[in-house]
Amino acid sequence: MITRRHWLTGTAAAAAAAQTIQGAARNIVVASSNGLRACARAMEILKGGGDTLDAVIAGVNINEEDPEDDSVGYGGLPNEEGVVELDASVMHGPTRRGGSVAGLRGIKTPSKVARLVMEQTDHIMLVGEGALRFAKAYGFREENLLTEKSRLAWLVWKRSLRDAGGHNNWSDGLDAPPSKATAELRRMFPGVSDELLAYAWDRAVNPPAGTINCLALNSKGEISGVTTTSGLAWKIPGRVGDSPILGAGLYVDQDVGGAGSTGRGEENIRVAGAHTIVENLRHGMTPKEACLDALKRIARNYDNDRERLARFDISFYALRKDGAYAGASLWSGAARRGQLRPRQFAVNDGDRSRLENCGYLLER
């Protein structure tokens, strides 16, 4: 039973904990593990006295423009029809504003378009055709975002699909001489190296996800963040993940801190992860505790059933206004080249960017 005295002490404690986070701020940038270069570029801008949102956007533009990064921007793996569709969101702490785009085709840097939505419109989010027209109105060039490598991976994925009888209209006809899958791929793509074919096959059968989230704090205590992605490979056209959803893939509150996410967006949207984490920080949790609490809510949605949870992974990143930070993943590690490697995240607090291990909820 809650007595009046308990209730009063409870609310007083909550009110005390819910104050603005105080503490000496410092220049610091945190990102998902693919963000070493992004953190370094963002830090240069912070050191030069630049704005925190300018810093993180310039940072993730490196990934967006890199054709070798197949999870973000140009070169991102496409939807099931072979078309690259991008999602991105930004939040600027000092002005307490945000913007986002979803399902944007043909523009390499969706983070810049999300920022324009924030700055130049009375809206928060633009999607699909409207987002593209808006970007073009502001002078962005429409380009084909599908690289040869991504197209190959998509084609191999198409050819890997089978009906219950093992048939696929995109593979050799019934009347063709029998051949092994690899021989078939080699014959179909004669000019392609075995290495590239191995990459395409791996991507086809293990559809990857990938995204970059980047959060920056400067010595004035200002904080901003960005999340940008090509989403889930081979998704249904029009599928939108968590990255452009303010409160899920990204959230920043200038009084408290910021949070972001990479991994299976559907799970994140159901727990409004980034907002949950920032609220947890507001109420006194450390960044690691705040991220683990959001992960617990995801596990709870599956009644903590490890078998079903094992089918995906998701990571959260948090940066508090006093410079405390953490990354945490659902699972302790991911299998890479036959080895279990810990999930990591990128940090730069002034010198070289480095990777640190994520905390985790479940041991693999």
| CA separation for the pair 42, 28 (Å, rounded) | 9
Q: Give me the helix-helix angle, 52-65 and 110-120, nearest 10°.
A: 150
Check residue 344 for interaction with ligand ASP (CB under 6 A): no
Segment lying near ligand ASP (by CB under 6 A), choices 7-15, 181-189, 203-211, 328-336: 203-211
Collapsing DSSP states into helix, strand and coil, what is residue 178?
A: coil
Lookup: tokens for 166: 């093992």
Check residue 231 for interaction with ligand ASP (CB under 6 A): yes
Burial class (CB in 10 A: 0-12, 13-18, 19+), 307: exposed
Collapsing DSSP states into helix, strand and coil, what is residue 257?
A: strand
- Out of 211, 227, 229, 262, which one is annotated catalytic? 211
Q: In the chain, at which residue ranges do the beta strands (DSSP E only) sit?
A: 28-32, 86-92, 97-104, 125-127, 211-217, 223-229, 250-253, 257-263, 314-320, 325-331, 333-336, 339-342, 344-348, 354-357, 359-362
Lookup: tokens for 189: 């793509």
Beta carbon nearer to ligand ASP, 207 or 350: 207
Segment lying near ligand ASP (by CB under 6 A), choices 56-64, 156-164, 260-268, 279-287: 260-268
Q: Which of 229, 254, 332, 348 binds ligand ASP (CB under 6 A)?
A: 229
Question: Residue 265, Cβ neighbours under 10 Å: how many?
Answer: 28
Q: Which of 35, 99, 210, 247 binds ligand ASP (CB under 6 A)?
A: 210
Residue 256: partners with Cβ closer than 8 Å, 6 or more residues away: 20, 21, 278, 281, 282, 320, 321
Beta carbon nearer to ligand ASP, 93 or 265: 265
Indicate if 109 belongs to the active site.
no
Check residue 244 for interaction with ligand ASP (CB under 6 A): no
Lookup: tokens for 356: 């640190």
State in angstroms the smallest separation of the CB of 28 from ligand ASP.
Answer: 22
Check residue 221 for interaction with ligand ASP (CB under 6 A): no
Are the beta carbons of 69 and 34 closer than 8 angstroms?
Answer: yes
Check residue 313 for interaction with ligand ASP (CB under 6 A): no
Check residue 295 for interaction with ligand ASP (CB under 6 A): no
Check residue 243 for interaction with ligand ASP (CB under 6 A): yes
Q: Which of 110, 263, 327, 333 binds ligand ASP (CB under 6 A)?
A: 263
Residues 264-283, one symbol each (x = binds ligand ASP by CB under 6 A, - = not), give xx------------------
Check residue 84 for interaction with ligand ASP (CB under 6 A): no
Q: Which of 262, 280, 344, 353 binds ligand ASP (CB under 6 A)?
A: 262
Q: Which of 242, 253, 279, 293 binds ligand ASP (CB under 6 A)?
A: 242
Question: Residue 239, Cβ neighbours under 10 Å: how many?
Answer: 17
Check residue 61 for interaction with ligand ASP (CB under 6 A): no
Nearest to 89 by CA among 78, 74, 107, 102: 102
Check residue 241 for interaction with ligand ASP (CB under 6 A): yes
Check residue 209 for interaction with ligand ASP (CB under 6 A): yes
Are the beta carbons of 194 and 185 closer than 8 angstroms?
Answer: no
Residues that bind ligand ASP (CB under 6 A): 209-211, 229, 231-232, 241-243, 262-265
- Residues marked active site are found at 211
